[in-house]
Amino acid sequence: FTFPQQLLGVWIQEEKELLQEVAGMGELVEPWHSKQVQLLDRHLHLLHLYSQASENLAAHKGGFFKPSSRKNDRSLEFAPVNLHLQRMWVQNDTLKKCDFYDVVTVGAFTAHSHKNKNGGLIKLLQQLKESPIKANNNLTPGLDKITMAFDAIQAIKQLRREVVL
């Protein structure tokens, strides 16, 4: 599981950097303090989740793919599902030729273990894209919250730069 472990390593490093960024803001006044605590909790949760997944993959003995029968196993959620090797024999009677073609199909890691019933990321992005924009130019509530959170983080970063300089 070299590639999934490398990817988890990148994500772990990113979460550590984000955790330091949020913690480095110091003690904020409300309502920013509540948001800061939520962000700290979220980054700590993801850091723990990714670290545990990396440890599970490192401790795994066996093949480099999990069978689809174990796709709901949380300890292997970052392991790719299935590896199919197929050999196709092609024959042309007219030309009296035949040949073999090897086909390899490799799966990716999935979120089956989370038991989401609302579709995957692509479906959620499609729903967001297709959601109607209100007449007063307010965006959908989910996107509005995302935009507000992004704007708040950018404003805090700008304020930190201005205060430090």
pLDDT by 10s per residue, the chain, length 165 = 777 888 899 999 999 998 898 888 888 888 888 888 888 898 999 899 899 989 988 888 877 777 777 777 778 888 877 777 788 888 999 999 999 888 877 776 676 666 666 666 667 667 766 766 543 445 455 556 666 666 777 777 777 777 665
Domain interval for residue 72: 2-116
Claim to verify: residue 66 and residue 122 sit in the same structural domain: no
Last residue of a domain, one of 116, 136, 152: 116
Claim to verify: residue 54 and residue 71 sit in the same structural domain: yes
pTM of the model: 0.56
Claim to verify: residue 97 and residue 143 sit in the same structural domain: no
Claim to verify: residue 96 and residue 162 sit in the same structural domain: no
Claim to verify: residue 136 and residue 101 sit in the same structural domain: no
Report the domain count for the chain.
2
CA dihedral 27, 32, 38, 43 (to 10 degrees): -70
Q: State how far the alpha carbon of 147 is from the alpha carbons of 43, 83, 138, 139, 150, in Å.
A: 19, 40, 11, 9, 5
Rounded Cα–Cα distance for residues 83 and 66 (Å): 8
Claim to verify: residue 52 and residue 8 sit in the same structural domain: yes
Rounded Cα–Cα distance for residues 133 and 48 (Å): 37
Which residues, in sequence order, are CB contacts of 63 under 8 Å at separation 6+?
A: 83
Q: Decide if 113 contacts 73 (C-beta within 8 A).
A: yes
Claim to verify: residue 95 and residue 137 sit in the same structural domain: no
